[in-house]
Amino acid sequence: MTTLTPAAAPIRPAPRTRGIPGGRWTRFVVRRTGRLLVSLWVLVTASFLMIHLVPGDPVRAALGLTAPPDLVAAKRKALGLEDPLLTQYLHYVGHLFRGDLGESIQSQLAVSDTISQRLPATASLALLAFAVAVAVAIPLGVAVAVATRRGRRRRTELTFAGTSVVLGSIPDFLVGVALVAVLAVNLGWFPVAGRSGATSYVLPVIALAIGPAAVLARIVRVEMLSVLDTDYIRTARAKRLPSLRINLRHALPNAVTATLTLGGMLLASMVAGTVLVENVFAWPGLGSTIVQSITTKDYPMVQGTVLVYGVIVLVVNTLVDVALALIDPRSTIGDS
Amino acid sequence: MRRWSRVLRTPVGIAGVTMLGLVLLLAVLAPLVWGDHADAVDTDNLLAGPSGQHWIGTDNLGRDLLFRVLVATRLSVALALLATAIGTTLGLLLGVAPLLLGRRVGRLVVAVVNILVAFPGLLLVLFFAVVFGVGTRGAVLAVGVAIAPGFARLVQTFVAGIAERDFVAAARIAGVSRLRIVVRHVLPNIAEPLIVNATITAGGVLLSFAGLSFLGLGVQPPSYDWGRLMQEGLSGIYIHPLAALAPGIAVILAGLAFNLTGEAIAGAFGVSTVTGTADPLPHVPAGETPEGRAAHEGTVRDDLVLDVRDLAVSFPGGVRPVRGVSFGIAAGEALGVVGESGSGKSLTALSIARLVEEPGRVDARRLTFCGTDLLEQADHDELLGTSLAVVFQDPMTSFNPVMRIGTQLAEVGRHHQGLSRRSALARAVDRLAAVRVRDPERRARQYPHEFSGGMRQRAMIGMGLMGSPRLIIADEPTTALDVTVQSQVLELLQGVRREQNAALLLISHDVSVVADVCGRVLVMYAGRIVEDLPTDALRTDARHPYTRALVAAVPDMATALDAPLATIPGQPVDPAHVPAGCAFAARCPIANDRCRTEEPVLRDDGTGHRVACWHTAEEVELLSIGTAGGLDTPSPRGSGYSTTDDGSGYSTTGDGSGYSTTGDGSGYSTTGDGSGYSTTGDGSGYSTTGDGSAGRVASASERIETKAPGEEVAR
Ligand code: SF4
């Protein structure tokens, strides 16, 4: 974390072990959990406040201008909007702990039911896309790094750099639209929309995976290149190990450590990326739900889905940090 | 201004700026020129495909799509720029807040920003879209606020870099107000990278905004931007795919225009990442160097473990750090190589070990190891893997940090001796014991960071003992170690040499180390051997002025320990610009005209003592050496070559070139999450490449080569 300590400030010894006994691992876990909890609290509070930050009366907005005033009043009461803010907040948090996310204004269904029904479609999409991106990016990045090292095969390098920049900067939903137009509409190879069987996954997964794969491959390449120039790789070469072993056993794990940080960010953003891609493919997941409920001003539903998305992202980030600490015991644990 | 013109000299720059110009031009002109066409309803052509009349077809009201896409440029670009302005301003404020508001509030701001950047941009956008309301105004605010944390993080990183600088500290001590420090000292220094990043951010915002409108949360009809057009097109994609694709392509091109421009500016202002095209290697035929001519073809001794004739290492651009080196080592012999950094001693060692990498090039007239010609295109891996041991300078970095020590030793046995995993590991433990690592079983299971420096160097030697080394090359094996363990490591090397009857090639900048261990010394200067003599003769019979200066600079018992360190006056030769004549002439107190024009040949006096100097016979007054240039000669850095001696070999590739938006590394800082949403990404936090190595190289280049008080030299 970046802390901006003024240079002239007196140096205080860092309170290293204060309050937290045990080894570095314990401290790491405690600190990381602490950060997760704070972030969760911010998230919950933000999602609670959302309904209050909306301009005008949220219930009136949801039910429309023509709705009878007593219906609006009843609904407001049912949502607890007449209570003092603090009471509402405690109420909201209390219900959260019981897994109760409230009730949709539009469909009267429990928000948690809708979410648990739609989450699998989104989660499977994101995870599959992430797996594909990693499976493509790591071998590709390694291969290009090894092949173009030290100014060799400049043409390959330039092609790779160009392609990956372009692919990495095209948003997933545009890729999705293009894929639909070409592969589904024109060629008819895959279903245009919906979630029905394995083939329906192909296009959304490609749309989600292609950009992150390109970005990841570039990073793997850069990391590989810098690792291949280290002293310990020179040592490995001095041992005359087969180049496959040098590249995969000696270099790759070191390159991946740094890559993983970004991989985690990519996974988190892929989860978010599903929102757009799902709308391209009319995918029955959380992404379509959130957009629908925003347009219909179904605020409890919006709160619930935003919360779930946010929690997933935070958990993914935490898991990545833990994985990093496991792979590379030196780095993450020692300092904050 | 010159830097701006540099932007236009790269293909990326030209493409980016041209595209950006076109986009902006369209944004201004298109609605004026085609505004009416775009709204004209053609009821005969509803949802029509491409035709002569409507090039990419029409929408459900029969309006021409091409015109609509063109006209939509203005709204799309304007909204993106507006949102970018909001976001970057907010980000800037948040970014400098820690500096303005003092430590406590500053920490809070940093913490909040850190929490926010953990969320993908799209989630923030959606959240704020709800809060600010669906529609154009809400969307602009939402996107603006959502990109602020990422930008703030970037600003904080840049600010942190500047805040540490001396002039800021000085201003602070002088009592300059915080606001003034920020405005006068900090902002001007970070303006360039921020502008670059803002440009790239604008590209991302354009895409985000299109996404938002595509979801129906942005621009509302009857207004339309590209995202809106895409949404309308998608519903009719069965009939008319182009309707959805055309605005999509427009979005991509416009986004690319911003991105490329940003990257190009970054490239022109920061460190260029593109290496120059490789010059053809200047190839000096073997035997044409003075030394080559002097070496006699016929005298091939077969008791030599290593026989090197006319070894040269060259790099593109005409740099020849090693320029014809010939020597041999017999079994059991300990040969030292001394010289300043840049003298080519380490590269000589690396090229013998066949570890010089492209684009470095090794030429030699003869290079045999254990009777095998290493110049032959054949697989020498097994021979080199088992019979050649290399001990590198820095044991801290020479072991793979994520592999156990035992595994790293055992590899040799696994790959070259056909041992099973188990017996290779057993041998590794045995070898660790042989180099006197205590508790080798347990140590073998540990990672390098659990070893001390001296212990690691022992393990490195042990690694060389996995086979049965005929030659041990030790490149500054004790330089990175504590004084207390240096002698232990040297003793260990000596012991190993005796036990195995192996030859030892010990490279050091320290004459006394070499004198302790070796029987013979090669003195290298500017890629040449200038003297080859028995260690015994160093004090009594050194004939080259450079050797004598080196020797005279070695402190002896009489030297006060707190005496200042001395250097030999003058600068080492830059391998890219080796002067004509004797390379040492510029620093030589007795150089004359002949020295400056004619290069002295390395001559054998018949006893094996070789010297390359025109004036060996003269008794020289060396008095002037120590006093002439004073003690503080500039350190031999900055030739662009300093990396070479490090073995990494002339690497100017600069892939992780400090400046985070330039290099290849920038991909992730700007494109962020691939979906184009968290536009500023997190390039800041993520800079693991690059700078580290540069710093290490700088520190590794041995600044002061010879330690001694000036009086000693002058005696
Ligand atoms: S050749 Fe001349 S310049 Fe070179 S070392 Fe000898 S005396 Fe000095």
**Amino acid identity, position B53:** Q
Number of other CB atoms surrounding residue A67 within 10 Å: 13
B501 in the same domain as B354: yes
**10 Å Cβ neighbour count for B373?**
12
Say yes or no for a CB contact (<8 Å) between A169 and B381.
no
Q: What percent of chain B has pLDDT over 70?
A: 75
Token output for B221: 């009809």
Kindly state whether residue B275 falls inside one of the protein's structural domains: no
d(CA A161, CA B664): 8
Angle formed by the axes of helices A111-148 and A154-169, nearest 10°: 170
CA distance A261 to A323: 9
B516/B549 same-domain check: no
Distance from CA of A21 to the nearest CA of B (A): 22
Closest CA to B209 of B293, B292, B150, B125: B125
pLDDT of residue B622: 45
Q: Is residue B279 part of a domain?
A: no
Q: Do B519 and B548 belong together in one domain?
A: no
Residue B669 pLDDT > 60, yes or no? no
Q: Indicate if B434 and B378 belong to the same structural domain.
A: yes
Share of chain B above pLDDT 90, in %: 3
The whole-angstrom distance between residue A96's C-alpha and the CA centroid of its chain comes to 22
Rounded distance between C-alpha atoms, residue B259 and residue B265, angstroms = 10
pLDDT at residue number B1: 55
Cα B635 from Cα B661, distance rounded (Å): 31
| Distance from the A219 Cα atom to the nearest Cα atom in chain B, whole angstroms | 7
Mean pLDDT (chain B) is 73
Distances (CA, A) of A208 to A165, A189, A262, B259, B671: 16, 18, 16, 21, 14
Distance B372 CA to ligand 1 centre (A): 37
Does residue B715 register a pLDDT over 60?
A: no
Residue B92 has pLDDT above 60, yes or no: yes
- pLDDT of B642: 32
The answer to whether the beta carbons of residues A227 and A241 sit under 8 Å apart is no
DSSP label at A65?
Answer: T
Spelled out in words, what is the top-level CATH class assigned to the domain A120-332?
mainly alpha
Give contacts of B655 with chain A, Cβ < 8 Å: 222, 225-226
> Residue B171: how many CB atoms within 10 A of its CB?
18
- In Å, how far are B55, B230, B541 from B242, measured between CA atoms? 10, 10, 88
Q: Which residues, in sequence order, are CB contacts of A15 under 8 Å at separation 6+?
A: none
pLDDT value of residue B86: 92
> How many domains are there within chain B?
4
Ligand 1: lining residues by beta carbon, under 6 Å: B 544-545, 582, 584-585, 588, 590-591, 595, 600, 613-615
- pLDDT greater than 60 at residue B490: yes
CATH code assigned at B323: 3.40.50.300
Number of Cβ atoms within 10 Å of the Cβ of A69 = 8
B493 belongs to a structural domain: yes
The pLDDT score that the predictor gives to residue B62 is 67
Q: In this structure, which residue's CA is closest to atom 3 in ligand 1?
A: B585
Give B-chain residues touching A232 at CB under 8 angstroms. Answer: 397-401
Mean pLDDT over B232-252 rounds to 78
Six token digits for residue B675 = 């979906």
Whether residue B614 is contained in a domain is answered as yes
Nearest-angstrom CA–CA distance, B620 and A334? 58
**Cβ-contact B693, A191 below 8 angstroms:** no
**Minimal CA separation from A68 to chain B, in Å:** 23
Asked if A240 lies within 8 A of B381 by C-beta distance, the reply is: yes
pLDDT at B303 over 80: no
For residue B473, give both structure tokens. 């090359």
Do B523 and B553 reside in the same domain of the chain?
no
Question: What is the pLDDT of chain A when averaged over all its residues?
Answer: 79
CA nearest to B654, candidates B235, B272, B231? B272
Work out the burial of residue B607: count CB atoms within 10 Å of its CB; fewer than 13 is exposed, 13-18 middle, 19 or more buried: exposed
B628 pLDDT more than 80: no
B203 plus B256 within the same structural domain: yes
pLDDT at B656 > cutoff 70: no
* B49 is a domain residue: no
Q: Which pLDDT band, with edges at 50, 70 and 90, does B47 fall under?
A: low
Nearest partner of B566 among B638, B526, B511, judged by Cα: B511
Position B82 scores a pLDDT of 92
Residues B629/B553, Cβ–Cβ less than 8 Å: no
For residues B497-516, average pLDDT: 87
Does residue B465 share a domain with residue B345?
yes
Q: Which residues of chain A have pLDDT under 70?
A: 1-24, 185, 188, 192-193, 258, 327-336
Same domain, B369 and B445: yes
Predicted TM-score (pTM) of this structure? 0.71
Which of 28-87 (A) contact B at CB < 8 A? 38-39, 42, 46, 50, 53-55
For residue B702, how many other CB atoms are within 10 A of its CB?
19
Q: What is the mean pLDDT of residues B373-377?
A: 80
A250 alpha-carbon distance from chain centroid = 29
Q: How confident is the model at residue B170 (pLDDT cuts 50, 70, 90)?
A: confident
Question: Which H or E run contains A53?
Answer: helix A24-53
Per-residue model confidence (pLDDT) at position B555: 67
- In this structure, are B302 and B406 located in the same domain? yes
Question: How do B471-475 and B503-508 pair as beta strands?
Answer: parallel
SS3 B371: coil
pLDDT at residue B287 above 70? no
Which residues 236-255 of chain A have a CB within 8 Å of chain B?
A: 236-242, 245, 249-250, 253-254
Q: Please compute the mean of the pLDDT values over residues B9-38 and round it to a whole number.
A: 79
Query: Which of A21-35, B101-115, B241-255, B363-377 bottoms out in mean pLDDT, i.e. has the lowest?
Result: A21-35
B546, B547, B548, B614, best to mutate for ligand 1 pocket (most atoms within 8 Å of CB) = B614
d(CA A327, CA A316): 16
One domain, residues B559 and B533: no
Grade residue B617 by pLDDT with cuts at 50, 70 and 90.
low
| B559, pLDDT greater than 70 | no
Q: What is the dihedral of CA B87, B91, B92, B97, to 10 degrees?
A: 150
pLDDT at B85: 92
Lowest mean pLDDT among B415-424, B508-517, B549-558: B549-558
* pLDDT for B386 beyond 70: yes
Q: What's the confidence (pLDDT) of residue B450?
A: 86
**Spans of all domains in chain A:** 120-332
- How does pLDDT run across B563-587, given as a tens digit for each residue? 444 567 777 778 778 888 888 888 8
Q: Indicate whether B148 pLDDT > 80.
A: yes
For residues B103 and B236, membership in a common domain is answered with: yes
pLDDT tens-digit profile of A134-153?
899 889 988 888 888 877 77
Confidence grade of residue B337 (pLDDT, cut at 50, 70, 90): very high
Determine, yes or no, domain membership for B651: no
Query: What is the residue whose two structure tokens read 């492209």?
Result: B358
Pick among B400, B407, B473, B669 to test the A interface (most A CBs inside 10 A):
B400
Give tens-digit pLDDT for B110-133: 888 888 887 877 888 888 888 888
Res B128: pLDDT: 86
Q: Is residue B472 part of a domain?
A: yes
**SS3 letters across B330-362:** ECCCEEEEECCCCCCHHHHHHHHCCCCCCCCEE
Q: How many helices (H) and strands (E) does chain A have?
A: 14, 0
Instruction: Centre a 10 Å sphere on the Cβ of residue B466 and count the other Cβ atoms it contains.
Output: 26
- Rounded to whole angstroms, the Cα distance separating B26 from B35 reads 12
User: Considering the domain boundaries, does residue B157 fall inside one?
Assistant: yes
Q: How high is the pLDDT of residue A259?
A: 75
Q: Is B269 on the interface with A (CB under 8 A)?
A: no
Ligand 1, atom 5, lies closest to the CA of B613
B492 alpha carbon to ligand 1 midpoint, in Å?
Answer: 38
Is the sign of the CA dihedral B231, B237, B243, B245 positive or negative? Answer: positive
Minimum mean pLDDT range among A294-308, B480-494, B594-608, B700-714: B700-714
Domain that holds residue B402: 290-537
Instruction: Flag the least confident range among A77-86, B58-67, B644-653.
Output: B644-653
Cβ–Cβ gap A211/B674 under 8 Å: yes
Does residue B612 carry a pLDDT above 80? yes
Say if CB B125 and CB B208 are below 8 A apart. Answer: yes
Mean pLDDT for B635-652 is 34
Range of lowest pLDDT (B343-347, B450-454, B567-571): B567-571
Return the number of other C-beta atoms located less than 10 Å from residue B692's C-beta.
13
In this structure, is the dihedral angle defined by the CA atoms of residues A97, A101, A103 and A107, taken in order, positive or negative? negative
- Residue B198 amino acid letter: A
Place of tokens 């500054």: B476
Distance CA A147, CA A154 (A): 9
